[in-house]
Structure 1
């Protein structure tokens, strides 16, 4: 891989490029209007949920019906609206399943699974029994979907420090002989099932895929009570061990690791220590996640939690829960201090694809790319690509076309 930069969306002809850039500045882009201007997290979550439509995981009318039931940042309104929709589809799926209508049942189970998870995406009452109930319902619906649809996946449990990490192994129907493996690490808020757009891009190009809930994520957090840890190589290396031992169809010399959002920060740490990883994809690149969040919290370090803005208060509670520390700014800041990859970047010797977007909320992908010493490529999505938002939300089809042709080349599937 040559050290190169690519701007996705740019026009090659210089004259056309000037015209396109002028036009881009003069008009609005799809990502600018917001569902809720006063809550950027809810806005991002809703756009992600809508982006899952091409994969049969959501439907526009269902999602928008929930949107019109929401009331600002009211958590109960969020949880109840999504849970009611999930329950309705879950019941429909079971009725169809009982009548032998397996196509209908599989379709409804898949969307019900998504909506059960949606109910938990914006919910900070971590002791509420619905946390476990809805998480189990989501996993159950997704498993039933796989069983009925014939989708080439299977649920797996990766042994991990006296417990296990839940996940899925997807076999590519296009693989010939031993084929590459892509391991996908979700972000702080999404689950293994939510990475389907990534897995689809891999499977269609002859690459097997393993996606999982690591400590602090999805079912690993809500069922097994596992919290985040900074030494992520201790998470990924057991995954590689498990995959190579269990699935003989994997080419051990061609293993990629892709991280989304917070996972984009975690992936290089694993690649620095496990040299079986031959390609690292960071979406977006990030040198120090801890430094960025600590900077946001530093303005409020002398304030009691009940005196800081609601969004920041919820951020502190969420980080405290997922990192297993007391619910204070001081403890969260202390927990985030080790989340800094500055000292290990020289150890990332595998090929690295660094993704970025002009609408990205976490800045620093370019400086991350420039700090790498090994083979690397920087890929920037701009407004005209329609995939400029955080982790290409809203532009998954475009992103897949550009990202996965590169991944296939690097893993030997071109």
Structure 2
């Protein structure tokens, strides 16, 4: 039973919501029902529970998509299945613990996303399963039409609270520029965490990325030139993976990342110490806070950054309320790469979501230019 009305999570700023696929019409509906009269731009004092409103609007969008799928209006159906997915993602984000309510909404995310891609004539998504340490990593593969057999591949790494469906549109930018793209849920993330009991350990994410690399090498449709991009905590994960797989990676983009997990888990936010640690106890499968803190402190790639020699792009805001800026600067300064760039994003919105299109396009252009021209 819900005893307290849930508000929009602070991390779900407007740029993030719209940049990750929430349609303007659904944004207006959601705001009107929860916190803002979009006609007068006045705050609403008695708005609805954010999770319930987003879930309800998701159901409305899904039903509308089903109606048009039956009519053969597949472009409309694809758009509204996608709208539903964006709304379910917001509802899911508003629930921290893996409750029955969260898991029910969570299943809708994967179903609506896959329905959207099953009926579209644009980006034909290939569902992949990559064997990993007795389990399987779920992901999506995009291959450009008429791609050469040696087509480069970009691996896209979601963040701590993101997952492959939320970050898909950022990953798709690379496919739109002519390279193949894989986005996946690794240990501690999304579908792999919730349904396959794949938890973070100090060093298993770099092995998960190596499994993706092996999958690429063994797929005759794909070439061996590989780039990797990570957003938010995925910037840490992608950089960590590159530290230990540098020989297989031709370029790295770290957007909004850091050089150690403590920058996220131990950072005081909104006056609360260790704000994100609770989220990681589930991801670590370790609910003793002191042990969780120890695991977090061991996830520090500072000593290994010198291993990175491939070209590196670090994109980071001037002030980051979630991760700070020290870790991003450490990555830029400590890698051994001769070709490296630090792209400062104006403001203090985490990952530069207030400039999502500009930042996302810059990162995609940078990595694709390297992969296609090196």
TM-score, structure 1 as length reference = 0.78
Does structure 1 retain, via aligned residues, the 8 Å contact 2:315–2:345?
A: no
Residue 338 (structure 1) aligned to one of 298, 306, 321: 298
Q: What is the root-mean-square deviation in Å for CA atoms of aligned residues?
A: 2.7
Residue 33 (structure 2) aligned to one of 36, 44, 69: 69
The CA deviation string for residues 293-323 of structure 1, in whole angstroms up to 9 with x for no partner, is: 33539xxxxxxxxxxx896586332121122
Name the CA distance, whole Å, in 1 between partners of 2:259 and 2:278: 24
Name the CA distance, whole Å, in 2 between partners of 1:218 and 1:88: 24
Residue 214 (structure 1) aligned to one of 162, 166, 186: 186
- TM alignment of 1:295-310, pairs within 5 A: 296=268
Q: Corresponding residue for 1:394? A: 354
Does structure 2 retain, via aligned residues, the 8 Å contact 1:51–1:395?
A: no
Which protein is bigger by CA-based radius of gyration? Answer: 1
Q: Corresponding residue for 1:325? A: 286
The CA deviation string for residues 212-262 of structure 1, in whole angstroms up to 9 with x for no partner, is: 01111111111112222221211100111122223x23220x100111111
Q: Structure 1 residues 411, 261: closer, same or farther in 2, change over 3 A?
A: same
SS in structure 2 at match of 1:69: helix
Confirm or deny that 1:290 pairs with 2:257.
no
Structure 2 unmatched ranges of 5 or more: 1-5, 36-43
Does structure 2 retain, via aligned residues, the 8 Å contact 1:174–1:206?
A: no
Confirm or deny that 1:102 pairs with 2:65.
no
Q: Corresponding residue for 2:13? A: 46
The CA deviation string for residues 389-411 of structure 1, in whole angstroms up to 9 with x for no partner, is: 32220322212332222212211
Name the CA distance, whole Å, in 1 between partners of 2:255 and 2:156: 11
- TM alignment of 1:11-410, pairs within 5 A: 42-52=9-19, 57-70=21-34, 77-126=49-98, 128-150=99-121, 151-173=123-145, 175-231=147-203, 232-246=205-219, 248-252=220-224, 254-274=225-245, 275-291=247-263, 293-294=265-266, 296=268, 315-326=276-287, 328-361=288-321, 362=323, 363-364=325-326, 365-383=328-346, 389-410=349-370
The CA deviation string for residues 129-174 of structure 1, in whole angstroms up to 9 with x for no partner, is: 2333222221111111111112221111222222222110011237
SS in structure 1 at match of 2:182: strand
Name the CA distance, whole Å, in 2 between partners of 1:181 and 1:268: 17
The CA deviation string for residues 171-226 of structure 1, in whole angstroms up to 9 with x for no partner, is: 12374442110000000111112223322321122111000011111111111122
Q: Structure 1 residues 213, 370: closer, same or farther in 2, change over 3 A?
A: same
Name the CA distance, whole Å, in 1 between partners of 2:128 and 2:227: 19
Name the CA distance, whole Å, in 2 between partners of 1:86 and 1:97: 16
Q: Structure 1 residues 186, 357: closer, same or farther in 2, change over 3 A?
A: same
Q: Structure 1 residues 238, 293: closer, same or farther in 2, change over 3 A?
A: same
Q: Corresponding residue for 2:40? A: none
The CA deviation string for residues 342-365 of structure 1, in whole angstroms up to 9 with x for no partner, is: 221121122221112224332122
Does structure 2 retain, via aligned residues, the 8 Å contact 1:154–1:169?
A: yes
Does structure 1 retain, via aligned residues, the 8 Å contact 2:233–2:257?
A: no
The CA deviation string for residues 11-35 of structure 1, in whole angstroms up to 9 with x for no partner, is: xxxxxxxxxxxxxxxxxxxxxxxxx
SS in structure 1 at match of 2:13: helix
SS in structure 1 at match of 2:248: coil
TM-score, structure 2 as length reference = 0.86
Does structure 2 retain, via aligned residues, the 8 Å contact 1:102–1:149?
A: yes
Deviates more, 1:62-71 or 1:403-412: 62-71
Higher relative contact order (CA 8 A, sep 6+): 1
